[in-house]
Amino acid sequence: MSLSPAFLDELRARVPVSGVVGRRVKLIRAGREMKGCCPFHNEKSPSFYVNDDKGFYHCFGCGAHGDVIRFMTDNMGLPFMEAVKQLAAEAGLDVPAASPEARQRAEVADSLGELTARAATWFQAQLAGDGGAGARAYIERRGLRPETVKAFALGYSPDSRTALRGHLKDAATDKLLEAGLIGKTDDGDTYDRFRGRLMFPIRDRRGRVVGFGGRALGDVQPKYLNSADGPLFDKGRLLYNLDSAGPAARKSGRLIVVEGYMDVIGLAQAGIAEAVAPLGTAMTETQLQLAWRLVDEPVLCFDGDGAGQRAAVRAAMRALPLLKPGKSLRIATLPPGQDPDDICRQGGAGAFEAVLAGAVSLIDHVWATQTAGLETATPERRAHARAQLREAAAGIGDPDVRALYQAEFNQRFETAFMSRPQRAPWQPRKPGERWQPTVPGASAALKALAARTDNPMMTALIAGVLLRPALADGHGDALAALRPADAGSAAVLAGALAALAADPALESAALLAHLADIGLAAEAKRITSGTGLRFSFTRAHGDARVAEADFGAALAQATAREGMIAALAEATVRFQSSLDESDWEEQQRLRIEIEALDAAMMRLAESRRDG
């Protein structure tokens, strides 16, 4: 449905921007404008301004800008037409009429929405009553606080075939069927769809109850049951908690997708509000689009077991055709046997943040899953491996993203499976030039360590933090900016930095005990047991001043190397696309600089091997 510019202008003129923004942001007068802390990003000093005369808001911190309608769609998560309807009602304007078909669909949805809202209120009352004792006991075992139960409007459906039907006796049977509240047998008898279950209301982006999920409290299958798809409820087009998570996601710049209702609720209780869940199915294309409307790179969390990893592969492959410039995913793997709710209950929000810190990019995940265990000993097997990668990239719809994925896969494949060592060509000396001996680099063993995919230098730095926590003091920002490729190392680093931020005086034993408490004992032990690179700061004893100096030098080199690696990847992509001589020279220059930096790192380690 299209609306005339004249109507939209009249709407903007009648509803001041400050009146709508002020419901979510504390605004103070600043001359002819008003200012407050931006609702689109975290800030302590106000940089968000609202100007009613000009009819717009603007943030000088993050660049957010728009009118009153844009604020309701971007900050409150409302569809455009719903924002217009709400503003029109506030302004006393009638929205131009839609087509008869659209009006009929809206009327049906409104009438069914009234029934689901009444059912939700009734389920809540049943949870508080005598019959809800078993459901309340389950809630208590899961550690949910009363305010959490209220915030998510949890309820209980009695183990009866007619209780809800009796409560909604004024509603027509066909409407209750369309609303997914009752079922119908082949003989024509009706029955309550949800019986003996803990009830989770499912809301749309506008916050309206459109359906339910019910968890069985006894030995009943299926354990989770959703409303039947119909005019109001479509499980493939909804995300649980999207209405509440949307504003939090826009403010934090992060959206977390977990598996189930209890995971979302457990995270919210731990203080992580920007979490949603699909409704018992793999992420659909529509659900991915909903997530991308909020943030550019949602984080998908999957179990570490075989089933969870297969689900991660399916989600990645489903997302590839939909990728656009700036729109992607990150994949986080949970410890085997634990879900987000378990992690938060055992270790708090910090433990789950450590898991998120280990999330990998979509391309890294696809590369890892497509090349894991590949047989590449013969040309035929390498050709098969390359074909799999090309097939994955070929499915990407956007031509620019597809070309860059293809170039990146080609580069990684060449490096991993096709590269061969080459002797540097002989170069004659110029007339009068004196011979200079080659500067010795690191030993062969240390060069081999530098080539390992787990990056022993990065591991050594993390080991230094674990064995000498005082080293983190003064280097917090640089350490937080590191991006270990190994998920376990990333989780340990994030967990350690979070613990030291809370208690900078932690000593090594206490820090390692904290990491063990949040499920990272094995990873921490692997890191501290030795990487093959022995620095002064990877030993628990020794001169603290030498360790501090060496740690600072190694950290600076590691930070510089990460920047060079990123620049090399960009230069390689440009060269593969242009085949220009200048791009090739830039690529080679960066490779030489990285090799020189690696040699310097190795020499630093070599100099301390006997210390």
- In order of their start, the domains of the chain are 5-91 (3.90.580.10), 100-233 (3.90.980.10), 242-367 (3.40.1360.10), 373-418 (no CATH), 444-607 (1.10.860)
DSSP class of residue 97 equals P
Least reliable range by pLDDT among 39-48, 159-168, 349-358, 499-508:
499-508
Give the three-class secondary structure for 366.
Answer: helix
Mean pLDDT: which of 75-79, 389-393, 570-574 is highest? Answer: 389-393
d(CA 94, CA 85): 8
**Does residue 407 contact residue 577 with C-beta atoms inside 8 Å?**
yes
Give mean pLDDT, residues 312-332: 91
Q: Which of residues 335 and 567 earns the better pLDDT score?
A: 335
The two three-digit tokens of residue 219, written as one number: 């030995």
d(CA 140, CA 138): 5
- Phi first, then psi, for residue 529 (nearest 5°) are -75, -10
**What number of other Cβ atoms are within 10 A of residue 296's Cβ?**
14
What does the mean pLDDT of the chain come to? 83
Give mean pLDDT, residues 178-205: 94
User: pLDDT confidence of 193, banded at 50, 70, 90?
Assistant: very high
| pLDDT attached to residue 310 | 80
| pLDDT attached to residue 473 | 79
Least reliable range by pLDDT among 1-5, 384-388, 567-571:
1-5
| DSSP sequence for 166-234 | HHTTTS-HHHHHHTTSEEE-TTS-EEES--SEEEEEEE-TTS-EEEEEEEESSS-SSSEEEPPPSSS--
Comparing CA positions, the residue from 573, 568, 564, 571 lying closest to residue 406 is 573
The two three-digit tokens of residue 282, written as one number: 């793999």
| Rg, C-alpha atoms of the chain | 29
| pLDDT attached to residue 604 | 64
* Residue 439 CA: distances (Å) to CA of 151, 202, 575: 67, 67, 31
Least reliable range by pLDDT among 74-83, 259-268, 465-474, 602-611:
602-611
Give the contacts of 348 (CB within 8 A, at least 6 positions apart): 270
Comparing CA positions, the residue from 184, 211, 206 lying closest to residue 84 is 206
N-to-C CA span, the chain: 75
d(CA 537, CA 447): 20
d(CA 123, CA 28): 42
User: Over pLDDT 70: what percentage of the chain?
Assistant: 85
Least reliable range by pLDDT among 97-106, 116-125, 303-312:
97-106
pLDDT at 427 over 90: no
Q: Tens of pLDDT along 550-600?
A: 888 888 877 887 777 777 777 766 665 565 667 667 777 777 777 777 777
Give mean pLDDT, residues 514-520: 86
User: pLDDT confidence of 160, banded at 50, 70, 90?
Assistant: very high
Comparing CA positions, the residue from 504, 601, 525, 506 lying closest to residue 557 is 601
Q: Cis omega before residue 222 (within 30°)?
A: yes
Least reliable range by pLDDT among 113-122, 181-190, 575-584:
575-584
Question: How much is the pTM?
Answer: 0.59
User: To 5 degrees, how large is the angle CA 329–CA 335–CA 340?
Assistant: 70
DSSP class of residue 595 equals H
Q: Which of residues 454 and 541 earns the better pLDDT score?
A: 541
